[in-house]
Amino acid sequence: MFPAPIRPILEATSYAEGSEARRAAEGKGLSIQVWGIVPKIREVDAFLRAHSNARERVHEVHPELCFYFMAGKRPMGFGKKKADGRAERIALLRKHFGTAVDSALTDLRQSGCAADDLLDAFAALWTARRIRAGTAVSLPATPPIDAHGLRMEILA
């Protein structure tokens, strides 16, 4: 897992500018992986800031955190891109989604989606079900609110 980008990164117009913003605020540079998702995070941030009524319906999740809770608060033993890691995650997901996981993996070639991305989507769906049922876990348990009224939390 990697930390969500801080607000100054969302305001950056280049990787170098974003990395410098993080370095100035936190003393660390920015990974290319984080920079790659900044445009989508920026979109969601702008949407939530403009539509306060959507804040109860849009939540942040992270697949590895979802798998951690799905496995009874046990971290995965293998990386998600390794065969053992894929098998480990598929076994967990089958308990909740049955053969839908296998069907989706079979149809994967047509989608252009990578297998690990598909499994991550199922993990996020698992958490979405928990959010709807009121059983999701918030990290932190009592999330702070930022200057724009947004909860600073991740759910699993």
113-136 residue pLDDT tens: 899 999 999 999 999 999 999 999
Distance CA 11, CA 115 (A): 32
- Summarize the chain as % helix, strand, coil (round to 5): 60, 5, 35
Residue 4's pLDDT band (cuts 50, 70, 90): confident
Q: List, in order, residues 6 or more apart from 32 with CB less than 8 Å away.
A: 15
Which of these, 149, 141, 136, 152, lies nearest to 66 by C-alpha position?
136
Q: Exposure of 91 by Cβ count < 10 A (0-12 exposed, 13-18 middle, 19+ buried)?
A: exposed
pLDDT tens for each residue of 52-96? 999 999 999 999 999 999 999 999 999 999 999 999 999 999 999
> Considering the chain, what percentage of its residues have pLDDT values greater than 70?
99
H/E element, 138: strand 138-139
Residues 11-18 have a mean pLDDT of: 95
Quick check: pTM over 0.85? yes
